[in-house]
Structure 1
Amino acid sequence: MQKELSIDHALRATWQAVAKMYNEKATQFDSTMAMAFVLLNIDKKKGTPSTALGPQMGMEPTSLSRILKSMEEKGAIYREKNPEDGRGVLIKLTDFGLEKRNTSRQAVIQFNETIKQHISEEKINHFFEVTDTINKLIASKKIFDTKPSKQKI
Protein backbone atom coordinates (compact mmCIF):
# COMPACT_ATOMS: atom_id res chain seq x y z
CA MET A 1 0.00 0.00 0.00
CA GLN A 2 1.29 3.44 -0.88
CA LYS A 3 1.69 5.63 2.19
CA GLU A 4 -0.36 8.38 0.52
CA LEU A 5 -3.34 5.98 0.46
CA SER A 6 -2.91 4.88 4.06
CA ILE A 7 -5.51 6.19 6.52
CA ASP A 8 -3.00 6.39 9.36
CA HIS A 9 -0.58 8.35 7.16
CA ALA A 10 -3.31 10.87 6.29
CA LEU A 11 -4.25 11.25 9.97
CA ARG A 12 -0.64 11.63 11.10
CA ALA A 13 0.37 14.05 8.33
CA THR A 14 -2.73 16.19 8.90
CA TRP A 15 -2.25 16.26 12.66
CA GLN A 16 1.42 17.22 12.23
CA ALA A 17 0.40 20.08 9.93
CA VAL A 18 -2.26 21.26 12.40
CA ALA A 19 0.18 21.03 15.34
CA LYS A 20 2.83 22.96 13.40
CA MET A 21 0.27 25.64 12.49
CA TYR A 22 -0.89 26.01 16.11
CA ASN A 23 2.70 26.04 17.43
CA GLU A 24 3.63 28.79 14.96
CA LYS A 25 0.63 30.83 16.14
CA ALA A 26 1.36 30.13 19.83
CA THR A 27 4.97 31.28 19.37
CA GLN A 28 3.64 34.75 18.55
CA PHE A 29 2.27 34.81 22.11
CA ASP A 30 5.32 33.28 23.84
CA SER A 31 3.46 29.99 24.23
CA THR A 32 3.13 26.53 22.75
CA MET A 33 0.23 24.50 21.43
CA ALA A 34 0.52 22.22 24.47
CA MET A 35 0.19 25.18 26.85
CA ALA A 36 -2.82 26.47 24.92
CA PHE A 37 -4.38 23.00 25.08
CA VAL A 38 -3.89 22.92 28.86
CA LEU A 39 -5.41 26.39 29.24
CA LEU A 40 -8.49 25.29 27.29
CA ASN A 41 -8.92 22.24 29.52
CA ILE A 42 -8.82 24.08 32.85
CA ASP A 43 -12.23 25.03 34.21
CA LYS A 44 -12.02 28.82 34.18
CA LYS A 45 -14.19 29.26 37.29
CA LYS A 46 -13.47 26.29 39.58
CA GLY A 47 -10.10 25.14 38.34
CA THR A 48 -9.34 21.53 37.48
CA PRO A 49 -7.74 18.80 39.60
CA SER A 50 -4.19 18.23 38.39
CA THR A 51 -4.83 14.47 38.32
CA ALA A 52 -7.75 14.97 35.90
CA LEU A 53 -5.85 17.07 33.36
CA GLY A 54 -3.53 14.36 31.99
CA PRO A 55 -6.20 11.75 31.23
CA GLN A 56 -8.58 14.45 29.98
CA MET A 57 -6.00 15.54 27.41
CA GLY A 58 -4.37 12.17 26.70
CA MET A 59 -1.07 13.46 28.04
CA GLU A 60 1.58 11.63 30.06
CA PRO A 61 2.04 12.87 33.66
CA THR A 62 5.72 13.73 33.10
CA SER A 63 4.96 15.90 30.06
CA LEU A 64 2.05 17.56 31.83
CA SER A 65 4.16 18.31 34.93
CA ARG A 66 6.80 20.01 32.79
CA ILE A 67 4.18 22.11 30.99
CA LEU A 68 2.42 23.07 34.24
CA LYS A 69 5.73 24.13 35.80
CA SER A 70 6.49 26.34 32.80
CA MET A 71 2.98 27.81 32.84
CA GLU A 72 3.28 28.56 36.55
CA GLU A 73 6.62 30.28 35.98
CA LYS A 74 5.03 32.42 33.25
CA GLY A 75 2.20 33.39 35.61
CA ALA A 76 -0.62 31.73 33.66
CA ILE A 77 -1.69 29.29 36.39
CA TYR A 78 -1.40 28.69 40.09
CA ARG A 79 -1.93 25.67 42.30
CA GLU A 80 -4.37 25.56 45.18
CA LYS A 81 -5.27 22.80 47.64
CA ASN A 82 -8.42 21.02 46.58
CA PRO A 83 -11.02 21.82 49.29
CA GLU A 84 -12.89 18.59 48.47
CA ASP A 85 -9.75 16.44 48.66
CA GLY A 86 -7.00 17.70 50.95
CA ARG A 87 -4.42 15.51 49.19
CA GLY A 88 -5.26 16.92 45.76
CA VAL A 89 -4.31 20.11 43.97
CA LEU A 90 -6.48 22.30 41.75
CA ILE A 91 -4.91 24.04 38.79
CA LYS A 92 -6.42 27.50 38.44
CA LEU A 93 -6.01 30.27 35.90
CA THR A 94 -4.58 33.65 36.80
CA ASP A 95 -5.95 36.76 35.06
CA PHE A 96 -3.03 36.42 32.66
CA GLY A 97 -3.93 32.75 32.13
CA LEU A 98 -7.55 33.69 31.39
CA GLU A 99 -6.30 36.18 28.83
CA LYS A 100 -4.09 33.52 27.22
CA ARG A 101 -7.00 31.06 27.34
CA ASN A 102 -9.21 33.50 25.44
CA THR A 103 -6.48 33.98 22.83
CA SER A 104 -6.20 30.19 22.46
CA ARG A 105 -9.96 29.83 22.22
CA GLN A 106 -10.13 32.45 19.47
CA ALA A 107 -7.44 30.59 17.48
CA VAL A 108 -9.43 27.34 17.72
CA ILE A 109 -12.64 29.11 16.68
CA GLN A 110 -10.87 30.74 13.73
CA PHE A 111 -9.45 27.37 12.63
CA ASN A 112 -12.87 25.71 12.82
CA GLU A 113 -14.66 28.56 11.04
CA THR A 114 -12.10 28.58 8.22
CA ILE A 115 -12.47 24.83 7.73
CA LYS A 116 -16.28 25.14 7.74
CA GLN A 117 -16.02 27.78 4.98
CA HIS A 118 -14.22 25.30 2.75
CA ILE A 119 -15.85 21.97 3.62
CA SER A 120 -19.57 21.20 3.60
CA GLU A 121 -21.37 20.40 6.83
CA GLU A 122 -22.15 16.94 5.44
CA LYS A 123 -18.45 16.19 4.84
CA ILE A 124 -17.53 17.49 8.30
CA ASN A 125 -20.18 15.22 9.83
CA HIS A 126 -18.70 12.28 7.88
CA PHE A 127 -15.23 13.22 9.15
CA PHE A 128 -16.47 13.05 12.75
CA GLU A 129 -18.23 9.73 12.06
CA VAL A 130 -15.00 8.31 10.62
CA THR A 131 -12.81 9.50 13.52
CA ASP A 132 -15.39 8.24 16.03
CA THR A 133 -15.39 4.81 14.36
CA ILE A 134 -11.58 4.68 14.31
CA ASN A 135 -11.49 5.53 18.02
CA LYS A 136 -14.11 2.89 18.82
CA LEU A 137 -12.20 0.24 16.85
CA ILE A 138 -8.99 1.11 18.67
CA ALA A 139 -10.68 1.18 22.10
CA SER A 140 -12.32 -2.19 21.51
CA LYS A 141 -8.99 -3.70 20.35
CA LYS A 142 -10.46 -4.63 16.97
CA ILE A 143 -7.66 -3.28 14.78
CA PHE A 144 -5.26 -6.19 15.27
CA ASP A 145 -7.73 -9.04 15.87
CA THR A 146 -6.58 -12.30 14.37
CA LYS A 147 -9.82 -12.53 12.40
CA PRO A 148 -10.59 -9.03 11.06
CA SER A 149 -14.27 -8.37 10.73
CA LYS A 150 -15.69 -6.46 7.80
CA GLN A 151 -18.72 -5.55 9.86
CA LYS A 152 -19.38 -1.81 9.85
CA ILE A 153 -19.72 0.00 13.15
Structure 2
Amino acid sequence: MKEKTIDYVLRATWIAVAKMYNEEASRKGSTMATGFALLNIDPDEGTPSTSLGPKMGMEATSLSRTLRTMEDKGLITRQRNPEDGRSVIIQLTEFGREMRAFSKEVVLTFDEAVNEVIPQEDLKTFNRVANTIMELINNKKIYKSETPVK
Protein backbone atom coordinates (compact mmCIF):
# COMPACT_ATOMS: atom_id res chain seq x y z
CA MET A 1 0.00 0.00 0.00
CA LYS A 2 1.75 3.11 -1.25
CA GLU A 3 -0.13 5.55 0.99
CA LYS A 4 -0.84 4.09 4.41
CA THR A 5 -4.21 4.97 5.88
CA ILE A 6 -4.74 5.46 9.60
CA ASP A 7 -6.69 2.21 9.82
CA TYR A 8 -3.88 0.36 8.01
CA VAL A 9 -1.30 1.57 10.53
CA LEU A 10 -3.56 0.71 13.48
CA ARG A 11 -4.44 -2.72 12.11
CA ALA A 12 -0.89 -3.64 11.08
CA THR A 13 0.48 -2.52 14.44
CA TRP A 14 -2.16 -4.41 16.41
CA ILE A 15 -1.61 -7.56 14.34
CA ALA A 16 2.13 -7.36 15.07
CA VAL A 17 1.49 -6.83 18.80
CA ALA A 18 -1.03 -9.70 18.91
CA LYS A 19 1.39 -12.01 17.09
CA MET A 20 4.16 -11.09 19.54
CA TYR A 21 1.87 -11.72 22.55
CA ASN A 22 0.67 -15.03 21.10
CA GLU A 23 4.27 -16.15 20.54
CA GLU A 24 5.12 -15.36 24.17
CA ALA A 25 1.93 -16.98 25.47
CA SER A 26 2.58 -20.12 23.41
CA ARG A 27 5.80 -20.68 25.40
CA LYS A 28 3.48 -21.52 28.31
CA GLY A 29 0.82 -23.26 26.21
CA SER A 30 -1.48 -20.27 26.30
CA THR A 31 -2.87 -17.56 24.00
CA MET A 32 -3.15 -13.80 24.06
CA ALA A 33 -6.93 -14.05 24.59
CA THR A 34 -6.40 -16.22 27.67
CA GLY A 35 -3.76 -13.84 29.04
CA PHE A 36 -6.05 -10.87 28.46
CA ALA A 37 -8.89 -12.64 30.28
CA LEU A 38 -6.60 -13.55 33.19
CA LEU A 39 -5.56 -9.90 33.54
CA ASN A 40 -9.21 -8.82 33.68
CA ILE A 41 -10.22 -11.23 36.45
CA ASP A 42 -9.85 -9.84 39.95
CA PRO A 43 -7.29 -12.16 41.59
CA ASP A 44 -8.81 -11.76 45.07
CA GLU A 45 -12.56 -11.37 44.62
CA GLY A 46 -13.05 -12.96 41.23
CA THR A 47 -15.14 -11.26 38.56
CA PRO A 48 -18.79 -11.76 37.64
CA SER A 49 -19.00 -13.37 34.20
CA THR A 50 -21.53 -10.73 33.13
CA SER A 51 -19.03 -7.90 33.63
CA LEU A 52 -16.06 -9.70 32.07
CA GLY A 53 -17.25 -9.48 28.45
CA PRO A 54 -17.85 -5.72 28.43
CA LYS A 55 -14.61 -5.16 30.36
CA MET A 56 -12.69 -6.99 27.65
CA GLY A 57 -14.77 -5.83 24.70
CA MET A 58 -15.52 -9.44 23.74
CA GLU A 59 -18.69 -10.92 22.32
CA ALA A 60 -20.48 -13.43 24.55
CA THR A 61 -19.75 -16.41 22.27
CA SER A 62 -16.02 -15.67 22.08
CA LEU A 63 -15.86 -15.09 25.83
CA SER A 64 -17.73 -18.35 26.53
CA ARG A 65 -15.28 -20.27 24.36
CA THR A 66 -12.29 -18.61 26.06
CA LEU A 67 -13.67 -19.29 29.54
CA ARG A 68 -14.44 -22.92 28.68
CA THR A 69 -10.85 -23.41 27.49
CA MET A 70 -9.52 -21.69 30.61
CA GLU A 71 -11.65 -23.92 32.82
CA ASP A 72 -10.51 -27.04 30.94
CA LYS A 73 -6.88 -26.00 31.49
CA GLY A 74 -7.46 -25.48 35.21
CA LEU A 75 -6.94 -21.70 35.17
CA ILE A 76 -10.37 -20.74 36.52
CA THR A 77 -13.38 -22.05 38.36
CA ARG A 78 -16.96 -20.82 38.10
CA GLN A 79 -18.86 -20.27 41.31
CA ARG A 80 -22.46 -19.20 41.82
CA ASN A 81 -22.75 -15.45 42.43
CA PRO A 82 -24.15 -15.06 45.97
CA GLU A 83 -25.61 -11.65 45.02
CA ASP A 84 -27.27 -12.85 41.80
CA GLY A 85 -28.11 -16.52 41.42
CA ARG A 86 -28.43 -16.10 37.64
CA SER A 87 -24.73 -15.32 37.15
CA VAL A 88 -21.42 -16.84 38.15
CA ILE A 89 -18.19 -15.45 39.57
CA ILE A 90 -15.04 -16.39 37.68
CA GLN A 91 -12.29 -17.24 40.19
CA LEU A 92 -8.62 -17.85 39.45
CA THR A 93 -7.10 -21.14 40.53
CA GLU A 94 -3.54 -21.23 41.84
CA PHE A 95 -2.38 -22.11 38.33
CA GLY A 96 -4.52 -19.24 37.01
CA ARG A 97 -2.74 -16.85 39.38
CA GLU A 98 0.64 -18.08 38.14
CA MET A 99 -0.39 -17.60 34.52
CA ARG A 100 -1.86 -14.19 35.35
CA ALA A 101 1.52 -13.16 36.81
CA PHE A 102 3.22 -14.41 33.63
CA SER A 103 0.76 -12.47 31.45
CA LYS A 104 1.28 -9.34 33.52
CA GLU A 105 5.05 -9.66 33.14
CA VAL A 106 4.72 -10.04 29.35
CA VAL A 107 2.64 -6.85 29.14
CA LEU A 108 4.96 -4.89 31.46
CA THR A 109 8.03 -6.02 29.50
CA PHE A 110 6.43 -4.75 26.28
CA ASP A 111 5.54 -1.48 28.00
CA GLU A 112 9.10 -1.04 29.29
CA ALA A 113 10.64 -1.73 25.89
CA VAL A 114 8.37 0.83 24.22
CA ASN A 115 8.97 3.40 26.98
CA GLU A 116 12.74 3.01 26.60
CA VAL A 117 12.78 4.01 22.92
CA ILE A 118 9.82 6.37 22.51
CA PRO A 119 9.97 9.75 24.24
CA GLN A 120 7.23 10.38 26.84
CA GLU A 121 5.91 13.36 24.89
CA ASP A 122 5.40 11.13 21.83
CA LEU A 123 3.61 8.53 23.96
CA LYS A 124 1.34 11.24 25.39
CA THR A 125 0.52 12.35 21.85
CA PHE A 126 -0.11 8.73 20.81
CA ASN A 127 -2.50 8.24 23.73
CA ARG A 128 -4.34 11.48 22.96
CA VAL A 129 -4.74 10.47 19.32
CA ALA A 130 -5.89 6.93 20.20
CA ASN A 131 -8.39 8.28 22.75
CA THR A 132 -9.74 10.77 20.23
CA ILE A 133 -10.21 8.00 17.65
CA MET A 134 -12.04 5.92 20.28
CA GLU A 135 -14.29 8.89 21.13
CA LEU A 136 -15.11 9.41 17.45
CA ILE A 137 -16.07 5.76 17.13
CA ASN A 138 -17.96 5.48 20.44
CA ASN A 139 -19.91 8.69 19.79
CA LYS A 140 -20.72 7.52 16.25
CA LYS A 141 -19.16 10.62 14.72
CA ILE A 142 -17.69 8.83 11.71
CA TYR A 143 -20.61 7.03 10.08
CA LYS A 144 -23.95 8.59 10.84
CA SER A 145 -26.70 6.35 9.52
CA GLU A 146 -30.17 7.78 9.80
CA THR A 147 -31.98 4.51 9.23
CA PRO A 148 -30.84 1.03 10.16
CA VAL A 149 -29.63 -1.14 7.30
CA LYS A 150 -32.08 -3.95 6.56
Q: Give the match for residue 106 of structure 1.
A: 105
Question: Is residue 27 of structure 1 aligned with residue 20 of structure 2?
Answer: no
Q: Give the match for residue 115 of structure 2.
A: 116
Q: Give the match for residue 70 of structure 1.
A: 69
User: What do the CA deviations read for 1:110-140 (whole angstroms, capped 9, x no partner)?
Assistant: 0000000010000000000000000001111
Q: Which amino acid aligns with 2:24?
A: K
Structure 1 residue runs of 4+, over 2 Å off?
Answer: 2-5
**Within-5 A mapping of 1:126-137:** 126-137=125-136
Point out where structure 2 has 5 or more consecutive residues left out of the alignment. Answer: 146-150
Percent of counterpart pairs with the same letter? Answer: 56
Distance change in 2, residues 1:82/1:28 (3 Å): same
User: What do the CA deviations read for 1:76-112 (whole angstroms, capped 9, x no partner)?
Assistant: 0000011111211000000000000000000000000
User: What do the CA deviations read for 1:16-70 (whole angstroms, capped 9, x no partner)?
Assistant: 0000000010000000000000000000000001111111111011111111111
Rounded to whole Å, the distance in 2 between the matches of 1:67 and 1:145 is 33
Q: Normalized against structure 2, the TM-score is what?
A: 0.93
DSSP-derived class of the 2:52 partner? helix
Q: Give the match for residue 92 of structure 1.
A: 91
Point out where structure 1 has 5 or more consecutive residues left out of the alignment. Answer: 147-153
Displacement, 1:4? 4.1
Displacement, 1:74? 0.6
Q: How many residues align?
A: 145
Q: Give the match for residue 60 of structure 1.
A: 59
Distance change in 2, residues 1:64/1:78 (3 Å): same
Pairwise CA RMSD: 1.2
Rounded to whole Å, the distance in 1 between the matches of 2:125 and 2:85 is 45
Q: Normalized against structure 1, the TM-score is what?
A: 0.91
